[in-house]
Structure 1
Amino acid sequence: MTDIPPDFDPESPEEREIAGEAATDRSDFLSLMGHTYRGELSRMTSWRTRIDRTTNWAVVVTATLLTWAFSAGSRPHYILLVGVAMLAIFLWIEVRRYRVYDIWRSRVRLLEENVFANALDPEGVVQSNWRQLLSEDFREPTIKISAYEATSRRLRRVYFPLISVLISAWVVRLTVFGTATGVVGAASVGAVAGEFVLLGVAAFYGSVLAVTFWPSGRQAKGELQSESETGVWK
């Protein structure tokens, strides 16, 4: 362990502002940026892993419920609706994780655009005040993406197909195994009439469709967009 000099005063102006000296030394500053990039990339990877874990849970639950629901004709149809509710909970958890993940991703992209890209091909920085932006974000980290956009993106990437599969399977389950009482009668859940269940599912799926595909502005930084969204890959 390094011995601390007896006259060391962490409150002295020289020691308090020692990191500021890196701003005037190119070698120290670029070295600091390299360490910063690795640290932010590690944080980003850690939160990306958390997002993937929730996605894995959603896929496993969907596959398990589909297998169980169609393994026998006596299986209750509403178990598939329970699965949809579970996917909604997973989506809520993942949206929260995604918004935090975007904090680290935005920092990584800020460094890549203005430091590494310019070092490889010095055509100028993308954002002239990138150092100020990064400094402010280090001092006061803020969530930069809205809950609506995060929900829309996670639905489009993962959850809309899973929800669609479960609801489609639920409709098939009603039409195949509920022919004796009709689809409306078969859709009832306990004391809840089939009409209300069908209307509720239709309203929920319509809301999911709207959130998934309704055009909106983009705030997320550094995420690939498909050609159908923007006309080009970004």
Structure 2
Amino acid sequence: MTTDEGRDFDPESPEEREIGREMVDQSVGLGSVAAHLYRGEMDRVTTWRQRLDETINWVVTILAAIIVYAFSAQGRDEIILAGIVVITVFLGVEARRYQDYDVFRARARMLQQNLFANALDPSLGVEHRTWRRDLSNDYRHPTTKVPFAEALARRLRRVYLPLITLLIASWLFKVTALSTDSWESTAAVGTVPGTVIGVVVALYYVAVVLITVWPRDRQAKGEFEDREYGEWKRNE
């Protein structure tokens, strides 16, 4: 056994952390493997992003159909409440999908930050000293990086809170401005008084807003959370 084969592998050692420099300077084979790995991760990121977009498309289509029907001559305000329930179910599904999406996005960002960025400009070093070990552990034992509550809040903030607000505003408008009876009687559903329905809707909306704005440490791996604007295409 040679000395190189027998020595302990330390992914935190300077020469191992600087794999980005080696990729473009020496090891063509390693660079090829890394390129294929990154391409595969980006393909999975794209696939999961498309799944998120498909869910949003369904939600927007259903919401539009509900509002059109609710404000038609035969429409009833209960259909809007049913729409809120349906969209809440879609929100839960999309939050789970976002957790899976972030697994592959986090891997892609780890490679971008520590491998490719370092290959382009080795003078700045790597972003994470233990990135190779962390990435290796994640390939051996994949785990979600984003808690369900954070995934829920992020989807609410980006898409679902405005849609839910639109539905609730439509319901309020229909049971008040478009009704000749009192809102309590118009909002009633079967034997459930309108006051109870109103309280449930109000509590639901407060809960949704709290989930959206509740302060929490960010776990999602994002590129644009802290925006810095500036020109990078400068003319020399």
Letter of the structure 1 residue corresponding to residue 159 of structure 2: V
Instruction: Confirm or deny that 1:57 pairs with 2:58.
Output: yes
Corresponding residue for 1:129? 130
- CA deviations over 1:107-160 (Å, ceiling 9, x no partner): 000000001111122210001111111111111100010000000000000000
Corresponding residue for 1:81? 81
Corresponding residue for 1:69? 70
Instruction: Quote the Cα distance in structure 1 between the aligned partners of 2:104 and 2:112.
Output: 12
CA gap of 1:62–1:221, structure 2 versus 1, over 3 A, is same
Q: TM-score, normalised by structure 2?
A: 0.83
CA gap of 1:150–1:223, structure 2 versus 1, over 3 A, is farther
Letter of the structure 2 residue corresponding to residue 108 of structure 1: A
Instruction: Quote the Cα distance in structure 1 between the aligned partners of 2:28 and 2:75.
Output: 68
Corresponding residue for 1:32? 33
Corresponding residue for 2:146? 145
**Percent of aligned pairs with the same residue?**
44
- CA deviations over 1:158-199 (Å, ceiling 9, x no partner): 00000000000000000123232x011111000101111000
Instruction: Confirm or deny that 1:104 pairs with 2:95.
Output: no
Gaps in structure 2 of 5+ consecutive residues: 1-18, 230-236
Letter of the structure 2 residue corresponding to residue 58 of structure 1: V
Instruction: Quote the Cα distance in structure 2 between the aligned partners of 1:129 and 1:94.
Output: 31
Q: TM-score, normalised by structure 1?
A: 0.84
Corresponding residue for 2:190? 190
Instruction: Quote the Cα distance in structure 1 between the aligned partners of 2:202 and 2:63.
Output: 19
Letter of the structure 2 residue corresponding to residue 89 of structure 1: V
Letter of the structure 2 residue corresponding to residue 100 of structure 1: D
Corresponding residue for 1:222? 222
CA gap of 1:49–1:178, structure 2 versus 1, over 3 A, is same
Q: Which deviates more from structure 2 when the two are superposed, residues 117-126 or residues 40-49?
A: 117-126
The structure whose RCO (Cα within 8 Å, separation 6+) is larger is: 2
Q: Tell me how far 1:223 sits from its aligned partner.
A: 4.3
Corresponding residue for 1:10? none
